[in-house]
Amino acid sequence: MAVNARQRTLKAFEKIRAHAVSQWEALKQSQEPRILIGTATCGRAAGALDVVKAFQDELAQQDIKAKVTEVGCMGYCYAEPMVIIEKPGWPPICYGYVTPGIASRLVQDFIIGDDPCLEFILGALEENELVPTIFDHPRFKYETRILLKNCGFIDPEDINQSIANGGYSGLAKALGMKPQRVIDEVKKSALRGRGGAGFPTGEKWQICREVAGEPKYVICNADEGDPGAFMDRAILESDPQSVIEGMTIAAYAIGAAHGYVYVRTEYPLAVERAHTAINQAEGSGLLGDNILGSDFSFHIEVMRGSGAFVCGEETAMMRSIEGRRGMPHHRPPFPATHGLWGKPTVINNVKTFACVPQIIQRGNQWFASIGSDGSKGTAIFALAGKVLNTGLVEVPMGTTLRQLIFEVGGGIPKGKRFKAVQIGGPSGGCLPESLLDTPIDFTSLTEAGAMMGSGGMVVMDEDNCMVDAALYFLDFTCKESCGKCTMCRLGTKQMLDILEDITKGQGKIEEIDLLVELGQDMKKGSLCGLGRTAPNPILTTIRYFRDEYEAHILEKRCPALACEELIAYYILPEKCERSCDACVGSCSVEAIYTGKRRIKVIDQEKCVKCGTCLESCPPQYDAVIRLSPPSLVPPSKK
Amino acid sequence: MTKKRPSRKQNVRPDASVAKEAEQIKVHTLDILRAYHGERRNLIPILQDIQAKFGYLPREAIKQVAKSMRIRELEVFGVASFYNQFRLNPPGKHPVKVCLGTACHIKGGRIILEAWERRLGIKVGETTTDREFSLERVACVGCCAMAPVSVVEEKIEGKVSPTRVDGILLSFELEKEKGTDK
């Protein structure tokens, strides 16, 4: 681009930015208190929309002027619904577990009065002398927020708030560079694809730029199908502009004029916010024809995925965009040379695109300074399962699993023992306690038998059965296998049958080795990543928890007391309080009756093993227990 | 849920209403096709819109789509049956989706699914005979921290227990009795 053209784009952007910043400053300086409420899908599930309404009603009733804004997700899912109140004269204060009742109290006591209601506080967002800050939480020692930095703090439906917080500065800078220099910058940053496989992003762009063929396409993979991962959804719902900007930079670098965001249809809010973001970016001249007055044009369409896990695989996704059955095909040729409609296509994950603007804006050295050798930048994990602080965490690559689970995640609830951590969803593996000091990066995890995958991280404690966990993942991949190649279609089914037998106590000891053999063959013989990684959960659980498989097979016993067919619920007569009817009332199939001396007894024939009685039995009695094998239950006399 | 409701069998519907429904389907399908210029590459969005309109993909609509795109019905059916989103039979008035993602599984999602099955008297993928409820499993709705999750009529219910299932069903019963049911 000629120098004066470059000046023109920068000038055009400066005008947009100045406007956005002045709006943002006015908002910040305003004497009206601001109430930010996290209403991403996770917040809504916890009742955030009721909280929004409670604030509005209370403000109207008290006749107070305050600005209520719906923002995205800060990632502290365990404390949803979350509210941030910015009141002039006070630091911004973050509240957790807010209910409509707490909302009206906050209006009365804090917004009208001057009592910040310390009992509901999570922490202030700035250092101050009045209230403890959120940074005192141990997790902040480990977290480095790059991709999530704006999530939960800006209105995702207002592009100006994004621009005022650094949005689109990367694009403006990129448009002033030669496309090749943009690619060089990404290459030097050593950014690797965040979709799981970790292919160097710059390399991919380079191949796509150099190969002949017009037009070229950019696709953003937001088909986050891994059950247990939700960071792509959180980013699209909380800071969609960062993704749009990253895609636009990629399009400029490779010379594409058209792009697609492929979002799961199960994420209606993400779809809606992506649409809004695209419309606003077009309205501001940051997307569409002649972006920022330059001769570069780029259009983005949102495509809703229709609930097929395999469409997260890039070649399958492209078939799906073309309107066909989403079945993968053999690679090579890779999408970078033969992609959508057979044209060169760059396809990257949401997080990869969201990294790009900041790399351009802050330089490759800044990005490369974060993380470990070979794996630069941060990793986002969706921490779930048996861990205290569930939610999204963003840590530099190289953080160990132990730090992530015990320091950031707060450890295992109810004083239970850690057993395993499942990383990377159905493609990943289960790692035991002995591997907790493994650093999180692409190579270390693969060596341990797991993989970075999509970033789902499910913590399991002593109550989780590893055979059952393996069965769960295999059941998932078996259902989601598209059926094109034999190894995946039949291999998953065979392994599933064997595992089901084992969990029912009908397994044979030689079947463990058979599973390993089958798994290794599937890894070699499957067409796409789905089949090649599907055996990982089984192979890792056999590798690290073989004794549990053996207990199921040889002793017909489930050590974790989880496999339904191998356990029975039993009420200890000496512990039963007798005058209490909690279990009888809780049983949804009327399987508990009052026996001799008012002791409660479970009718094993009727019991469906739902475990409700175990939870309803008051902790001071703790009379309901599980026994495995079920033959341990003493015969009852009616 | 012990009360028996009269079942609405297909053959009791008068022919006139069936014909009217078929006509409706035809009109709306044509509108949707027109909005996408009937292009083959837009097949999935077209099917999505049809399903959004009727709650499922009626046979007549599939025929219509195939005809206007000049492709075989089989090809449309092939795409429709490949994706989990599409259903070929009408949903219940209150669709229930039970999340069986990883986190929900760990927290006992299957127990919740069984509780729904038991209470509604149907298996997953089915609709109650009175077409009030339908039951589906979904891979993950992305609220893993609230596990186990059920989605009842697009409303997300977090931390569901078998007793909560009874409670949800009871609230529908009560609403129905009050006559405030939509």
Delineate the domains of chain B, giving CATH numbers in brackets. 10-82 (no CATH), 94-178 (3.40.30.10)
Q: Give the residue from B104, B110, B143 with the most A CB atoms within 10 Å of its CB, the best one to mutate.
A: B143
Among A32-36, A513-517, A624-628, B84-88, the range scoring the smallest mean pLDDT is B84-88
- pLDDT at A234 exceeding the cut of 60: yes
Instruction: Report the DSSP pairing between strands A456-461 and A418-423.
Output: antiparallel
User: What integer pLDDT is reported at residue A461 of this predicted model?
Assistant: 92
User: What integer pLDDT is reported at residue B180 of this predicted model?
Assistant: 57
User: What integer pLDDT is reported at residue A303 of this predicted model?
Assistant: 95
Q: How confident is the model at residue B10 (pLDDT cuts 50, 70, 90)?
A: very low
Q: For residue A325, give the nearest of B82, B157, B163 by CB distance.
A: B82
Token pair in block for residue A125: 């967002």
Among A129-133, A318-322, A351-355, A626-630, the range scoring the smallest mean pLDDT is A129-133
Residue-wise pLDDT for A72-90, tens only, equals: 988 888 888 999 999 988 8
Q: Note whether B41 contacts A615, CB cutoff 8 Å.
A: no
Q: Note whether A325 contacts B86, CB cutoff 8 Å.
A: no
- pLDDT at A526 exceeding the cut of 50: yes
User: What integer pLDDT is reported at residue A1 of this predicted model?
Assistant: 53
Q: Note whether B106 contacts A324, CB cutoff 8 Å.
A: no
Q: For residue B43, give the nearest of A323, A460, A608 by CB distance.
A: A323
Task: Map tokens 């965009």 to a residue.
Answer: A321
CA distance A116 to A125: 14
Q: Note whether A482 contacts B82, CB cutoff 8 Å.
A: yes
Q: Are A623 and A614 in contact (CB under 8 A)?
A: no
Residue-wise pLDDT for A532-587, tens only, equals: 999 999 999 999 999 999 999 999 999 999 888 999 999 999 999 988 989 998 88
Which chain A residue is nearest to residue B100, measuring alpha carbons?
A227
Comparing A392 with A141, which gets the higher pLDDT? A392
CA distance A302 to A81: 29
User: What integer pLDDT is reported at residue B6 of this predicted model?
Assistant: 44
Q: Note whether B107 contacts A458, CB cutoff 8 Å.
A: no
CA distance B150 to A212: 49
Q: What is the mean pLDDT of chain B?
A: 84
Q: How far apart are the first and last CA of chain B?
A: 19
User: What integer pLDDT is reported at residue B3 of this predicted model?
Assistant: 45
Q: Are A116 and A108 in contact (CB under 8 A)?
A: no
Q: Compute the count of residue pairs across chains A and B with CB atoms less than 8 Å apart.
A: 145
Which chain A residue is nearest to residue B52, measuring alpha carbons?
A265
CA distance B33 to B50: 9
Q: In chain B, which residues have their Cβ closer than 8 Å to the Cβ of A537? A: none
| A227 in B contact zone (CB under 8 Å) | yes
Among candidates A379, A473, A390, which has minimal Cα distance to A429? A473
Phi-psi region of A425 (alpha: psi -120 to 50; beta: other; left: phi over 0): left
User: What integer pLDDT is reported at residue B107 of this predicted model?
Assistant: 78
Distance from CA of A348 to the nearest CA of B (A): 20
Q: What is the mean pLDDT of chain A?
A: 91
Among A136-140, A487-491, B131-135, the range scoring the smallest mean pLDDT is A136-140
Q: Which of A 21-50 lie inside 8 A of B, CB atoms?
A: 41-42, 44-46
User: What integer pLDDT is reported at residue A138 of this predicted model?
Assistant: 76
Q: Which of A 475-504 lie inside 8 A of B, CB atoms?
A: 476, 480, 482
Q: In chain A, which residues have their Cβ closer than 8 Å to the Cβ of B140? A: 225-230, 266
Sheet holding A217-222, edge to edge: A299-305, A258-264, A217-222, A345-349
CA distance A245 to A243: 5
| A385 in B contact zone (CB under 8 Å) | yes
Phi, psi angles (nearest 5°) of residue A35: -120, 115
Q: Note whether B82 contacts A308, CB cutoff 8 Å.
A: yes
Mean pLDDT of B155-181: 85
Mean pLDDT of B26-34: 92
Q: Note whether A615 contacts B86, CB cutoff 8 Å.
A: no
Q: Give the residue from A306, A310, A481, A617 with the most B CB atoms within 10 Å of its CB, the best one to mutate.
A: A306
CA distance A379 to A371: 9
Q: Which of A 60-89 lie inside 8 A of B, CB atoms?
A: 77-78, 80
* CB neighbours of residue A388 within 10 Å: 15
Q: Note whether B84 contacts A306, CB cutoff 8 Å.
A: yes
Q: What percent of chain B has pLDDT over 90?
A: 40
Q: In chain B, which residues have their Cβ closer than 8 Å to the Cβ of A325? A: 78-79, 82
| A611 in B contact zone (CB under 8 Å) | yes
Distance from CA of A589 to the nearest CA of B (A): 9
Distance from CA of B44 to the nearest CA of A (A): 5
Hey, what amino acid is at A563?
Answer: C
Hey, what amino acid is at A473?
Answer: F
User: What integer pLDDT is reported at residue B12 of this predicted model?
Assistant: 52
Q: In chain A, which residues have their Cβ closer than 8 Å to the Cβ of B43? A: 323-324
- pLDDT at B1 exceeding the cut of 50: no
Task: Kindly list the structural domains of chain A, giving each domain's residue range(s) and its CATH number in brackets, ordered by start.
Answer: 31-137 (3.40.30.10), 159-368 (3.40.50.11540), 372-461 (3.10.20.600), 466-554 (1.20.1440.230), 567-632 (3.30.70.20)
* Cα angle value A248/A249/A254 (rounded, 5°): 100
Q: Note whether B103 contacts A460, CB cutoff 8 Å.
A: no
For B162, counting Cβ atoms within 10 Å of its Cβ (0-12 exposed, 13-18 middle, 19+ buried), the class is buried
Q: How confident is the model at residue A637 (pLDDT cuts 50, 70, 90)?
A: low
Q: Give the residue from B106, B160, B165, B168 with the most A CB atoms within 10 Å of its CB, the best one to mutate.
A: B106
| A222 in B contact zone (CB under 8 Å) | no
Q: For residue A422, give the nearest of B44, B85, B102 by CB distance.
A: B102
CA distance A327 to A314: 10
| A223 in B contact zone (CB under 8 Å) | no
| A569 in B contact zone (CB under 8 Å) | no
Q: How confident is the model at residue B2 (pLDDT cuts 50, 70, 90)?
A: very low
User: What integer pLDDT is reported at residue B14 of this predicted model?
Assistant: 63
Distance from CA of B16 to the nearest CA of A (A): 34
For A134, counting Cβ atoms within 10 Å of its Cβ (0-12 exposed, 13-18 middle, 19+ buried), the class is buried
- pLDDT at B5 exceeding the cut of 60: no
Mean pLDDT of A402-423: 92
Among candidates A385, A625, A615, A50, which has minimal Cα distance to B161? A615
Residue A114 DSSP SS3: coil
Q: In chain A, which residues have their Cβ closer than 8 Å to the Cβ of B156? A: 41, 44-45
Sheet holding A418-423, edge to edge: A391-396, A378-385, A456-461, A418-423, A429-432
Token pair in block for residue A611: 């475990």
Q: In chain B, which residues have their Cβ closer than 8 Å to the Cβ of A42? A: 142-143, 145-146
